[in-house]
A and B are shown apart, each in its own frame.
Chain A
Amino acid sequence: MMKENNDEKYLYNSATLNNIRSEYKEVLIDSQIRKEDFEQGVQWLYKNLLHRPKPQIRYCNGLDVDVIRDVKSKKINRLTVENALNRCIDSCIRGKNKWIDDLLLKRVLSEHLHLSHQHTVQDIINGYGKNGINLKEHLARIAYLDFHIRLGDFMALDFSYLKKMYCSGVYYVFFWDDFVLALSNPVIRQDEHGLLHSTVYPAIEWPQGGKAYYIHGREMPEWIFRCYGTDMLYRRFLAEDNEDIRSGIITLVNERIGDKGLLDFLKAELVDEKEVVHHSGYTEVLRLYKSKEKFDYLQDRKGKSGQPYCWSEFTCPSTGATYLIDNSADFKNAIEAAKFLRPSFVPEYLPYRWSHDAS
């Protein structure tokens, strides 16, 4: 750890740090690509670090399967590129008389330049190819380097090329022996808690391909959006086994057309609701719904056919998500219905009340 007598240099409200923070924050969110900078940086990378001739460069506003598949030359392993860049960055810090490892500054920059949902986006990208790196993921390291260079702590001759590449606005780069594909920022949509979320569009998408749907942080299949507004959504909701998807459909319908719309969608009527007071005053409203329509193929728990659909409604205390769980249509009382959905070893007489915790 470097000892510095001049404390003013390392005050974290310094003009230099503030400039670095705002400059790199803008790079993080900027979706414009500065092609000239990127090309200079990539040319330097290929010539000086990867020891390959200058590649052809193509820019993409999405993950185009055809483009990626049509590249004939050999992929460069992601680790090869990362290791080469890491060695270059480390040499800037180590090759001097002083060893600088300011953990607090690193943490400050990492938090400020945090790339949201990068693992989820990476999962989408991995489905198209694994021969690439996320440039924006490493902005904090470049910012850290830049900060010390501006203070004159060391000089790095190639830093300008490194910075041009990382700060060009390109989000992700795929590498081949003689070809590079540069990808722009995805559009990311979130709810008020920062969870991936949209009930109208993909929560993550590029205009030219590559997308994923999420509702309050849970991935959803595309068909629930495609079928929205048609009878097919209701039919597929009834047939769906996965409770998270069913919950996602409910949220989608609820957010788009409200509570009344949701009941209409479900063609349901509220049969009963009861408030239960659990531990520490935590209260829960249990509801019981039934569809107006009856169906020959539906039975109640006693085996009697010709029943309506029946759901018990639970609200998750942790996520706020509403779950409609299929239940036997002979119930008329919301609490008795909820009891029935407890594990089968639980006797009916046991009161429905969480005595310790619910999450």
Chain B
Amino acid sequence: MNILEQFAHQGDTQWFKIDQIPFGTEKVDKKFIAASERSGSFHALFGDYDMYELAGSFIIETKEDCILNHSLAEHLRDNKLTLDEAQILAKKDHRHTVIPKGIYRVGIQQRFNPRENHRRRITD
């Protein structure tokens, strides 16, 4: 698997275009890419895609233009939406991003902890 380019970010979620799905990754049900319990907000991809997990990151193969939304969980519930439909939701902080057909590895921006000398995911 090669990372081809630094593709897009929405908030602290970062998308990198890759050339293929790595061997041995585990396909998972669609889920939020990131969520904040405190604010009730989430980053999630909507549309036709397959999702895999790999070492704390996601591999996503989009089959069509999909919509990456940053929204509130209540909007999903109120509108009875699923992750299978490419829909634009009311934004929480970040406008939606169109993720075109392709294969991506998705991770979260990190923060270095100088007290413990290691990087970890940003929390919000």
Q: Which residues of A contact B (CB under 8 A)?
A: 217-219, 241-244, 297-301, 303, 307, 309-310, 316, 318-319, 325-329, 340-347, 350-359
Contacts known (A241-B123, A346-B16); A303 close to B9, Cβ less than 8 A: no
B113-A326 in contact (CB<8A) = yes
Assembled-state Cα–Cα distance A144/B106 (Å): 50
Per the CB 8 Å criterion, the residue count for chain B at the interface is: 41
Task: Tell me which residues across on chain A come within 8 A of B113, comparing CB atoms.
Answer: 326
Assembled-state Cα–Cα distance A345/B121 (Å): 13
Task: Tell me which residues across on chain A come within 8 A of B122, comparing CB atoms.
Answer: 243, 325
B1-35: contact bitstring with A at CB < 8 Å (1 yes, 0 no)?
00101111111101111000000000000000000
Task: Tell me which residues across on chain A come within 8 A of B109, comparing CB atoms.
Answer: 325, 341-343
Contacts known (A301-B112, A350-B6); A343 close to B14, Cβ less than 8 A: yes
Task: Tell me which residues across on chain B come within 8 A of A344, comparing CB atoms.
Answer: 107, 110, 119
In angstroms, how far is the closest chain B Cβ from the Cβ of A240?
Answer: 10
Task: Tell me which residues across on chain B come within 8 A of A241, comparing CB atoms.
Answer: 123
Tell me the B99-124 residues at the A interface (CB within 8 Å): 100, 105, 107-117, 119, 122-124
Q: Which residues of B contact A (CB under 8 A)?
A: 3, 5-12, 14-17, 39, 55, 57, 70, 91, 93-98, 100, 105, 107-117, 119, 122-124
Task: Tell me which residues across on chain A come within 8 A of B116, comparing CB atoms.
Answer: 299
Assembled-state Cα–Cα distance A298/B112 (Å): 11
Query: For A218, A299, A328, A359, which residue has the most chain B Cβ atoms within 10 angstroms?
Result: A359
Task: Tell me which residues across on chain B come within 8 A of A328, comparing CB atoms.
Answer: 112, 114
B5-A345 in contact (CB<8A) = no
B7-A298 in contact (CB<8A) = no
A357-B107 in contact (CB<8A) = no
Task: Tell me which residues across on chain A come within 8 A of B124, comparing CB atoms.
Answer: 242-244
Contacts known (A318-B93, A357-B98, A359-B94); A301 close to B8, Cβ less than 8 A: no
Given contacts A350-B3, A359-B9, A359-B70, 13 further A-B contacts (CB under 8 A): A218-B39, A243-B111, A298-B114, A299-B117, A303-B117, A318-B11, A319-B93, A326-B112, A345-B16, A346-B6, A359-B95, A359-B96, A359-B97
Assembled-state Cα–Cα distance A316/B124 (Å): 14
The 9 A-B residue pairs with the shortest CB-CB distance in the complex, in nearest-first order: A343-B107, A298-B114, A357-B8, A299-B117, A318-B94, A356-B8, A359-B94, A355-B5, A357-B97
Task: Tell me which residues across on chain B come within 8 A of A299, comparing CB atoms.
Answer: 114-117
Among B6, B95, B119, the residue within 8 A (CB) of A352 is: B6
In angstroms, how far is the closest chain B Cβ from the Cβ of A326?
Answer: 5
Q: List 14 A-B contacts (CB under 8 A).
A: A243-B12, A243-B122, A243-B124, A297-B115, A298-B115, A299-B116, A310-B114, A318-B93, A343-B16, A345-B55, A354-B7, A356-B100, A357-B8, A359-B96
B57-A345 in contact (CB<8A) = yes
Among B8, B95, B110, B111, the residue within 8 A (CB) of A318 is: B95
Task: Tell me which residues across on chain B come within 8 A of A242, comparing CB atoms.
Answer: 123-124
B8-A358 in contact (CB<8A) = yes
B11-A316 in contact (CB<8A) = yes
Assembled-state Cα–Cα distance A217/B107 (Å): 26
Assembled-state Cα–Cα distance A351/B11 (Å): 19
In angstroms, how far is the closest chain A Cβ from the Cβ of B50?
Answer: 19
In angstroms, how far is the closest chain B Cβ from the Cβ of A280?
Answer: 12
B9-A329 in contact (CB<8A) = no
Query: For B39, B107, B119, which residue has the most chain A Cβ atoms within 10 angstroms?
Result: B119
A343-B6 in contact (CB<8A) = no
B11-A355 in contact (CB<8A) = no
In angstroms, how far is the closest chain B Cβ from the Cβ of A284?
Answer: 11
B119-A341 in contact (CB<8A) = yes
In angstroms, how far is the closest chain B Cβ from the Cβ of A5?
Answer: 39
Task: Tell me which residues across on chain A come within 8 A of B112, comparing CB atoms.
Answer: 301, 310, 325-328, 340-341
Assembled-state Cα–Cα distance A38/B100 (Å): 58
Task: Tell me which residues across on chain A come within 8 A of B107, comparing CB atoms.
Answer: 342-346
B9-A358 in contact (CB<8A) = yes
Query: For B11, B110, B112, B113, which residue has the most chain A Cβ atoms within 10 angstroms?
Result: B112
